[in-house]
Amino acid sequence: MLKIAPSILSADFAKLGEEIVAVEKGGADYIHVDAMDGHFVPNLTLGPNIVSAIRPITKLPLDCHLMLSNPEEYIGAFAEAGADIITIHAEATPHIHRAIQLIKSHQVKAGVVLNPATPVEAISYVLEDVDMVLVMSVNPGFGGQSFIESSLKKIAVLKELKETHGYTYEIEVDGGIVPETAKKCYEAGADVLVAGSYIYNHADRKAQIDQLKAVISK
Ligand code: DX5
Ligand code: ZN
């Protein structure tokens, strides 16, 4: 089973509701919401107000990727807005463990994100606590970038640790996903693939999701 999480960053914001309904009908598993603060990453995007606006229009879990400095300050707002999964960057706070506990205190699934240069060792001691590990396969900030191949080794390390220790996290990969990279990520051990431009830059959202899901059988 390979889950697909369309990133609404590449959607047409003038029709955001329709864009979400289209991917839900097209077989998406999560809706990926990219929150950027213009500080941790050089771009400004979506906040809790968007999460609360889209919450009533889909049954899919809202997978909120916080590219924010001091994420602890915003976890409560995202949880109250209706997030189902909140992921925070390991590089964004010296208190990763505390931030994960804070997410869980809101009965929301907690995940931790690694930038391309951040090793798995940075989060060794929270692997038993998290529901998701998100491997960035581009430098965060923008959609439409090319996949960084070294991410595949990181996915494989996380898969190995998961099997060895019986951890329960899902391995999610974000950035530069097209069928060719999707297949490599799946074979390395990914459970969930985020895709923005591949899904939303084409008219038929369902056909694009089908293409990504089909890599399992190829
Ligand atoms: C990048 C975001 C991604 C982005 C992926 O910082 O975290 O979720 O939307 O876009 P694509 O699939 O176009 O690389
Ligand atoms: Zn993302």
Q: pLDDT (tens digit, 9 = 90+) per residue, 125-162?
A: 999 999 999 999 999 999 999 999 999 999 999 999 99
At 87-134, the pLDDT tens digits run: 999 999 999 999 999 999 999 999 999 999 999 999 999 999 999 999
Active site residue 174: yes
Q: Whole-prediction pTM value?
A: 0.98
ipTM: 0.99
**Contact status, residue 31 vs residue 58, Cβ threshold 8 Å:** yes
Which whole number is the average pLDDT over 14-33? 98
Q: Where are the beta strands (DSSP E) in the chain?
A: 3-6, 31-36, 62-67, 85-89, 109-114, 132-136, 170-174, 192-195
CA 7 to ligand 1 center in whole angstroms: 6
Query: Which domains are delineated in the chain?
Result: 3-217 (3.20.20.70)
CA 134 to ligand 2 center in whole angstroms: 9
Strand partners, 104: none
Active site residue 34: yes
At 40-64, the pLDDT tens digits run: 999 999 999 999 999 999 999 999 9
Residues at Cβ < 5 Å from ligand 2 ion: 34, 65, 174
CA 195 to CA 9: how far, in whole Å? 10
Question: Given this model, what pLDDT does residue 217 score?
Answer: 84
Q: 61 in ligand 1 pocket by Cβ < 6 Å? A: no
- pLDDT confidence bin for 209, thresholds 50/70/90: very high
Q: What is the dihedral sign for C-alpha 1, 175, 116, 111? A: negative
Residue 196 in marked binding region = yes
Catalytic residue among 34, 37, 131, 191: 34
Residue with tokens 């889209």: 54
Q: 140 in ligand 1 pocket by Cβ < 6 Å? A: yes
